[in-house]
Amino acid sequence: MEADKKGTLICVGTGLNLAGQISVLSKSYLEHADVVFSLVSDSFTQNWLESLNQDVRSLQPYYAQEGEVKNRRDTYKQMVEAIIEQVRLGKKVVCALYGHPGVFACVSHFAIAQARDEGYTAQMEPGISAEACLWADIGIDPGASGHQSFEASQFMFYKHTPDPTTHLLLWQIGIAGEHTLTEFHTSSDRLQVLVEQLNEWYPLEHEIVLYEAPNLPTQSPRIDRIVLKNLPFARLSSITTLLIPPSRELEFNHQVLAKLGITAEELG
């Protein structure tokens, strides 16, 4: 169906650090929206959004409240319906999500797909993600040896094979092994299973990094270096990312080099 209806949806990223990591274009969309839906990690960012637009509606209340058990699939469905309802009313709707709106943010993808299916114009504007902050804060160029990136639970549940010559990122390590979509934490037992799994490629004494990007200009990033075997005892939060540096050196592909007429010595 062609997008020819009046209502529109734009999903934008606020970045990780309050007000300083949002693009000029995304900020303009926020200022000129009829309705802004927000899904951000702190009250400071929520207050800043409310300073830009008079109609900002937080999506946080759709999550399970204290004492309530609620599947996150139901939560996301309700969030999407709330967003699309305003689009159907012919409004310019903007959904603001912290970080990058398309990275570990299924609500934006669901809402855009739904809006387009119903014939509305919908798009996404990128934001600065936790991964972008990680490379800058830790001082790593992922182009030097490459990197792999997985959601922690998915890495555990499926037969992924990491390359120990590259950097490995495991996202949402704070809920590693959680499959019910009703909890927001993991356990030391689940993390021990992950350690045993990773030990196939990484020594137990291999240094790993627990990273958390700062949300405010006055904060510093969390960069805690521990050995792999101590992961089950580490303090983790919903925003903790696990970085596993390479445990092996890159190996030359001599067969391909020979076809290219290049020697290993020429590459240094």
Six-digit token string for 100:
């990058």
3-state secondary structure of 182: coil
3-state secondary structure of 32: helix
Does the annotation mark 211 as catalytic?
Answer: no
Q: Is 267 exposed, middle or buried (0-12, 13-18, 19+ CB in 10 A)?
A: exposed
Catalytic residue among 29, 62, 98, 211: 98
Does the annotation mark 76 as catalytic?
Answer: yes
What is the Cα 183 distance to its own chain's centre?
A: 18
Pairing of strands 241-244, 222-227: unpaired
253 secondary structure, DSSP code: -
Catalytic residue among 29, 62, 76, 120: 76
Does the annotation mark 98 as catalytic?
Answer: yes
Pick from 166, 104, 120: nearest CA to 10 = 120
Give the integer Cα–Cα distance in Å for 240 and 173. Answer: 6
Catalytic residue among 57, 72, 116, 222: 72
Give the integer Cα–Cα distance in Å for 80 and 29. Answer: 19
- Residues assigned a catalytic role: 72, 76, 98
